[in-house]
Chain A
Amino acid sequence: MDYNFQFNVIWRNFDTLLDGAWLTFQLGVFAFWGGALLGLVGAALKTYGPGPIRFLVDVYVVFMTNTPALIQVYFLYFGLPEVGIRWSSEACLLIGLTLNAGAYLTMIMRAGFLSVRKSEMEAGEALGMSLVQQIRYIIVPHIAKSIYPALANFFIVILVMGTSVGALIGVDELTGTAINLSTVNYRWLEYFTVIAGMYVVLTFIASIGLALLGRWAFRVKARIF
């Protein structure tokens, strides 16, 4: 191979890449927590809601998990303006990713609702807890602990794969920034090598953070790799 790698231009624009990485990180965190909240509500409605509501949750989950996240974000970005709703590309990406994550997390958390010990719920009820209080004090810690690895993996998926969809609607997250910069001087290979490394570092930091959080909050002994 006689390609001549030239990384100098990249280091000159490294600040811009760091900004992109920071935005990627923020988008990942917000979409995950928003999705977790949606997932919790979705799983609760799927478990305890009346028939029609359970059906609506199913429709939401099937629709969002069986269509590409890219299409969902496109729909918000290109489709909604047709009916007069115009959001920034960042907002479309964040909302799209959150809705998408919410559907996956509804499925993941549903497993937690089904596996909670019925007797613990009953003990809570006998102590005077309402259903919402039982969910909050019994099911949420149970979910956090028992499916923590699945949740942590899913966070990484959003952080790396989900956010990069933004590149296609002009969000300056890490991938989008790299594409923009490389169209100026055609150093694609260098840029993509460097951001691949940055994604790995980002994932590594997130994994350590999640493992520490899990250990501290839920007594989960999570493996980092």
Chain B
Amino acid sequence: MPHLAVNDVCAKYGSLEVLHGIGFEVDRGEVVSLVGPSGSGKSTVLRALVGLTPVTSGHVEVDGKKIDYGSSQAVKAARDRMAIVFQQYNLFQNMNVMRNVTLAPIKIKGRPKAQVEAKAIELLDLVGLSEKRDAYPDQLSGGQQQRVAIARALALEPEILLLDEVTSALDPELVNEVLDTIRRLAREGMTMILVSHEMSFVREVSSKVIFMDDGKVVESGPPAEIFDTPKSERARDFFGKILRH
């Protein structure tokens, strides 16, 4: 049984349907990457998984158990198991790093403060920011903010981490520090769904790559297969364009 199964999911913004029946599976400890042209619906897949964009049909299962996105209780439960990191980090501007990381586990999940803080210190160490505990987001570089955002997501102890183009808002020299953090998580066996345009990185860390276009999965498979011998015209076209420069 896969850890996460996405079956024929459709999602809408208002009346505009942007996912037209998406399906894929993720095993425990696996890193799966979503790639495809801008506007193809990659972000929406991640947003739908955590209930930020309404799922209108199809279903999602975690460990074989269906998530009912119509029920706020179930959405809460889904958010317990999956945490998302956004392209623009979206840190809480009026809180320091430590509070950004510990707020949700303490105030929302009601976990013991001392335990959460110990864990947060560990996580900030993992992302290489132990020195910045008391800094505010506007005192940090983009790369540092993004690593705080990753620590904040991990503090909830999710089973699956969703990463949406976490390096594309960063200056080139800051990209590696964030990729290193993700590599480390992958080595530690974190299950992750990654949306990224860093194709060499995707090839390196993913066990499966899903190529999307226009709200649908066009093809999926091991990275070598998808990148080197894509079956579909659209994938060939897309990789041809982005790998050429």
Q: Which chain A residues have a beta carbon within 8 Å of chain B's beta carbons?
A: 117, 119-120, 122-129, 133, 137-138, 141-142, 145, 218-219
**Inter-chain contacts of A137 with B (CB < 8 A):** 92, 103, 107
The distance in angstroms between the C-alpha atoms of A123 and B50, with both chains bound, is 11
Which secondary structure characterizes the binding site on chain B?
loop
In the complex, the answer to whether B156 meets A128 with C-beta atoms within 8 Å is: yes
A-B contact pairs, 29 of them (CB 8 A): A117-B90, A120-B92, A122-B90, A123-B86, A123-B90, A123-B91, A123-B92, A124-B92, A125-B52, A126-B50, A126-B79, A126-B84, A127-B79, A127-B83, A127-B108, A127-B152, A128-B104, A128-B108, A128-B109, A129-B104, A129-B108, A133-B107, A133-B108, A137-B103, A141-B95, A142-B93, A145-B94, A218-B94, A219-B136
A117 to chain B, nearest CB (A): 7
How many positions in chain B have a CB within 8 Å of any CB in the partner chain? 23
**Inter-chain contacts of B76 with A (CB < 8 A):** 128
**Inter-chain contacts of B50 with A (CB < 8 A):** 126
**Inter-chain contacts of A138 with B (CB < 8 A):** 92, 94
Most buried by A among B76, B86, B94, B107: B94
In the complex, the answer to whether B104 meets A127 with C-beta atoms within 8 Å is: yes
B155 to chain A, nearest CB (A): 9
**Inter-chain contacts of B86 with A (CB < 8 A):** 119, 122-123
B68 at the interface (CB under 8 A from A): no
Of all chain B residues, the one with the shortest Cβ separation from A145 is B94
In the complex, the answer to whether A120 meets B90 with C-beta atoms within 8 Å is: yes
In the complex, the answer to whether B108 meets A142 with C-beta atoms within 8 Å is: no
The distance in angstroms between the C-alpha atoms of A129 and B107, with both chains bound, is 9
In the complex, the answer to whether A126 meets B83 with C-beta atoms within 8 Å is: yes
Most buried by B among A127, A129, A145: A127
B88 at the interface (CB under 8 A from A): yes
Contact pick for B52, options A120, A126, A142, A219, CB 8 Å: A126
B136 to chain A, nearest CB (A): 7
* Contact mask for chain B residues 179-211; partner A; CB cutoff 8 A; 1 contact, 0 none: 000000000000000000000000000000000
The distance in angstroms between the C-alpha atoms of A123 and B79, with both chains bound, is 11
**Inter-chain contacts of B152 with A (CB < 8 A):** 127
**Inter-chain contacts of B95 with A (CB < 8 A):** 141
- Using A120-B91, A123-B91, A219-B94 as known contacts, list a sample of 7 further A-B pairs with CB atoms less than 8 Å apart, ordered by residue number in A: A119-B88, A119-B90, A120-B93, A123-B90, A126-B50, A126-B84, A127-B156
Of all chain A residues, the one with the shortest Cβ separation from B82 is A126
B214 at the interface (CB under 8 A from A): no
B88 to chain A, nearest CB (A): 6
The distance in angstroms between the C-alpha atoms of A119 and B107, with both chains bound, is 20
The distance in angstroms between the C-alpha atoms of A129 and B86, with both chains bound, is 16
